Amino acid sequence: MHPPSPISHGEQFVKSIYDALVSSPQWKDTLFILTFDEAGGFGDHVPPPVNVPAGDSYAYQEKVFATGEIATFDFTRLGVRVPTFLISPWVDAGVVEHDGKNNGGVYTHTSIIKFLKNLWNLDADLTPRTAWSATFEHLIRDSPRGPSTTTSASPVQTTAGGKIEQSSAGVLQTSTVHMSGPPTSVPSPQTGTTGQSYNGNKNAPNYNAPQGQYTDSPKNVLNSASTFSFGGLLLLILAI
DSSP assignment string, 121-170: T-SS-SSHHHHHS---GGGB-SSPPPPP-PPPPPPPPB-TTS-B-S----
Q: How far is CA 110 from the centre of its chain?
A: 8
67 Cβ neighbours under 8 A, 6+ residues apart: none
SS3 of the chain: CCCCCCHHHHHHHHHHHHHHHHCCHHHHHEEEEEEECCCCCCCCCCCCCECCCCCCCCEEEEECCCCCCEEEECCCECCCEEEEEEECCCECCCEEECCCCCHHHCCECHHHHHHHHHHCCCCCCCCHHHHHCCCCHHHECCCCCCCCCCCCCCCCCECCCCCECCCCCCCCCEEEEEEECCCCCCCCCCCCCCCCEEECHHHCCCCCCCCECCCCCCCCCCCEEEEEEECCEEEEEEEC
Whether the pLDDT of residue 169 is over 90: the answer is: no
Q: What is the DSSP letter of 53?
A: P
pLDDT for the residue 152: 73
As a whole number, mean pLDDT of residues 85-93 equals: 93
- pLDDT digit string (tens) for 7-45? 888 888 899 999 999 999 999 999 999 999 888 778 889
pLDDT for the residue 149: 67
Q: How far is CA 91 from the centre of its chain?
A: 17
The rounded percent of the chain whose pLDDT value lies above 90 is 38
Whether the pLDDT of residue 147 is over 80: the answer is: no
Least confident among 86-90, 98-102, 122-126, 202-206: 202-206
pLDDT for the residue 108: 93
Burial 224-233 (b: 16+ CB within 10 A, else e): eeeeeeeebb
Whether the pLDDT of residue 142 is over 50: the answer is: yes
Instruction: Check residues 5 and 193 and name the one with the higher pLDDT.
Output: 5
List the one residue out of 56, 45, 115 whose CA is nearest residue 80.
45
As a whole number, mean pLDDT of residues 114-132 equals: 90
Cβ atoms of residues 192 and 205 within 8 Å = yes
Whether the pLDDT of residue 127 is over 60: the answer is: yes
Whether the pLDDT of residue 158 is over 50: the answer is: yes
